[in-house]
Amino acid sequence: MMDIYQILQKLPHRYPILLVDRVLEVEKGVRIKALKNVSVNEPFFVGHFPHRPVMPGVLILEALAQAAALLSFATLDITLDEKTIYYFAGIDGARFKRPVEPGDQLILDVELGRAKAGIYKFKARAWVGSDLAAEAELMCTMRKVA
């Protein structure tokens, strides 16, 4: 389990792009279960869509990637320094099954598929209650920056 203060120590993201509020479970090298509370006050709802707010799919994928990063850091037992960035390397098979709206609690369920040559591949699913909201295979990598 990880609260927001521990997440802030691990992820470089900050408002408005920090999209993980709490880690519920983590099994190093295997899976992570985290949550994002979706509030009507999110800045993206102003324009997406004013008459019927819906969380953009790309932000659901970003939330899943942030959970994947937390799983990687827990697995490797590391905290990133300012010279290391964790990037998306690819997204395959992204599907959106249900709109995510204000008041929803998005459960981020990510499993590590494999890690090879610095590329991590994950099977990621986002749930609202028992409903699948989105799923994708994510690939991520860490790189040093100048």
Q: What distances in angstroms separate CA 65 from CA 31, 87, 94, 122, one per listed residue? A: 13, 9, 12, 9
pLDDT in tens, 72-110: 999 999 988 888 999 999 999 999 999 999 999 999 999
- Residue 100: the pLDDT is 98
The residue among 67, 88, 80 whose CA lies nearest residue 12 is 80
The residue among 33, 85, 31, 142 whose CA lies nearest residue 20 is 33
- Residue 125: the pLDDT is 98
- Alpha-carbon span 61 to 92, nearest angstrom: 11
Mean pLDDT computed over 118-140: 97
Which top CATH class is 4-144?
Answer: alpha beta
- Residue 127: the pLDDT is 98
Question: What is the domain partition of the chain in residue ranges?
Answer: 4-144
Which residues does the annotation mark as catalytic?
48
pLDDT in tens, 6-55: 999 999 999 999 999 999 999 999 999 999 999 999 999 999 999 999 99
Count the residues in the chain: 146
- Residue 82: the pLDDT is 87
